[in-house]
Amino acid sequence: MKEIFLRLEGLTVQVGGARLLDSLDWTVRRGEQWAVIGPSGSGKTVLAHTLTGRYFASGRITPDGVTMTMVEQQHRFQGLPGATELYYQQRFNSADAEGTITVAEELSMAGHTGQPDDLPDTLHIRQLLDKPLIQLSNGENKRVQLAIALLERPDMLILDNPFLGLDVEGRQVLHAIIDRLAMEGMQILLITGQRELPACITHIGKLQKGRWMFTGPKTDFHADPDREPGNLVQLDADIVARLKATGAAPETGKMDDLVVELRQVNIRYGDNRILNNLNWQVRRGERWSVSGPNGAGKSTLLSLITADNPQAYANEVLLFGRRRGTGESIWDIKRKIGFVSPELHLYFDAGANCFDVVASGLFDTIGLFRQLSQEQEETAMGWLKLLSLEALRTRRLVQLSAGEQRMVLLARALIKDPPMLILDEPCQGLDDAQTAYFRELITVLCEVFDKTLIYVSHYHEELPRCVDKFLRLEKGVRVE
């Protein structure tokens, strides 16, 4: 029998009175490559954080001295020493890219000497060494994070949902990298979904509510069947009526009026062309899917619409009937748009509670810095109730599961009753049941509250059923 690499006995984690892991026993033997799966909020990331020392736990972890390095879901960009603190829109402002470090500088700070070695080639990052971190795609960023983790020479590499936000090619590349690392002797612990299991994975552990539902060889595991969403969403009619009565004044004009129009739009950063002569129109009431591989220009396209990209002024970008740069303020635009993205929650203060996060959407600020009127408080509570979030109002956003965070950010996006919703990879980190519910919820909300929708996802099966128009980008060019 193989040597025991790691053993947990009665591992229990409690935070704020809530038991997040409950008496886990687990044995990992040397050479076994494990994937831990389970619904959002089941304790997967808590387990990883406990193994790396972030959470205090009762029970035993043996043997002592096993070093573990974790690659997180999200990466916070760093600025150069003395540079101003990074801000949400910075990656779209080419003038500020000089205030961020390059891949080579990041690796150097992590201990990479630059001497001839195969690490950059193994992780497909040699061509990225001179590139500012803030300009990396999701897939490129993930590979740099892997390089930094490997420089620590851990006994075990823990990867927390590394495939989130990656296109098909990016996921394939990462699968191959993980398989190669395992073949070279690295012990892997992968937190993932049941559909993203690299070939090297030999064992699976499934968590639910902090307890094991299954542990054993992958060959003995039976995946849960896919489920259709069915009639999952029923909104409280009284709350809907109250929110409609206190929401924004209805948009004037015809249902087919243009709300977005791009004419021969070109976006460059240095010699890198991100969007190439792009033409696109979105009419009021339409529901669009925007897709394409990592680096295709999707995020840049959204930044033009959400008023976060200064290059809009050098192009013909018309929003809600007005060309950018004709006297409207950024806030005039933002009050008409509800926006959700996977990284948005990173920019909130760690102490921000859910009520304040939702209420901040009234002012399009990353945090609540104003006193609310009674009517505004009632509106915030109305959206929390409508989306079944009332019990979370005093909880900190960072304490919630990925699914709960997405629902809170959706409430924030909806609170000012904007005519248009822009949802950028909103199902990242959600399990299958949450994704099915979210898809159906978006369709119901768009129909009940008459929303124009722009929805970005790498997965066609994640699209709400209301989506019936499609824009695909490849290398900044519209593909018909």
pLDDT digits 0-9 by tens, 100-115? 788 888 888 888 876 6
- Work out the burial of residue 342: count CB atoms within 10 Å of its CB; fewer than 13 is exposed, 13-18 middle, 19 or more buried: buried
Averaged pLDDT of the chain: 86
Tens of pLDDT, residue by residue over 209-233, are 999 999 999 999 988 765 555 556 7
| pTM of model > 0.95 | no
Tens of pLDDT, residue by residue over 339-394, are 998 778 777 887 899 999 999 999 988 889 889 999 999 999 999 999 989 999 99
Q: What are the DSSP E strand ranges found in 63-139?
A: 68-71
**pLDDT for the residue 160:** 92
Q: What are the DSSP E strand ranges found in 128-232?
A: 156-160, 187-191, 203-208, 211-217
The C-alpha atoms of residue 431 and residue 45 are separated, in whole angstroms, by 14
C-alpha triplet 170, 469, 226: angle, nearest 5°: 55
C-alpha triplet 182, 185, 188: angle, nearest 5°: 45
Helix (H, G, I), strand (E, B) or coil at 431: coil
Query: What does R_g of the chain's alpha carbons equal in angstroms?
Result: 23
Residue 278's pLDDT band (cuts 50, 70, 90) = very high
- Judge whether residue 250 has pLDDT over 70: no
Tens of pLDDT, residue by residue over 414-444, are 999 999 999 998 888 788 888 888 889 999 9
**Percent of the chain's residues with pLDDT above 90:** 49
- CA 435 to chain CA centroid, Å, is 13
**pLDDT for the residue 86:** 42
- Judge whether residue 318 has pLDDT over 70: yes
For 237-250+290-309+328-479, CATH number out of 3.40.50.720, 1.20.120.1200, 3.40.50.2000, 3.40.50.300 equals: 3.40.50.300
Residue 180's pLDDT band (cuts 50, 70, 90) = very high
Residue 445's pLDDT band (cuts 50, 70, 90) = very high
Which of 6, 33, 29, 32 lies closest to 198 in space, CA to CA?
33
The C-alpha atoms of residue 279 and residue 477 are separated, in whole angstroms, by 9
**pLDDT for the residue 74:** 67
Residue 288's pLDDT band (cuts 50, 70, 90) = very high
| Domain spans of the chain, in order of start | 4-220, 237-250+290-309+328-479
Q: Which of 124-133, 155-164, 358-367 has the lowest mean pLDDT?
A: 124-133
The C-alpha atoms of residue 283 and residue 259 are separated, in whole angstroms, by 5
**pLDDT for the residue 118:** 76
- Judge whether residue 155 has pLDDT over 70: yes
Q: Does domain 4-220 have CATH number 3.40.50.300?
A: yes
Tens of pLDDT, residue by residue over 14-56, are 987 788 999 999 999 999 999 999 988 889 999 999 999 988 9
**pLDDT for the residue 84:** 38
Cβ neighbours of residue 117 closer than 8 Å, sequence gap 6 or more: none
The C-alpha atoms of residue 161 and residue 194 are separated, in whole angstroms, by 11
The C-alpha atoms of residue 413 and residue 449 are separated, in whole angstroms, by 13
Using an 8 Å Cβ cutoff, are 384 and 358 in contact?
yes
DSSP tally for the chain: helices H, then strands E: 12, 19
The C-alpha atoms of residue 373 and residue 376 are separated, in whole angstroms, by 5
Same fold, 4-220 and 237-250+290-309+328-479: yes
**pLDDT for the residue 461:** 86
Report, as an integer, the average pLDDT of 303-321: 89
**Residue 382 tokens, joined:** 């109305």
Report, as an integer, the average pLDDT of 89-96: 46
- Judge whether residue 90 has pLDDT over 90: no
**pLDDT for the residue 436:** 86
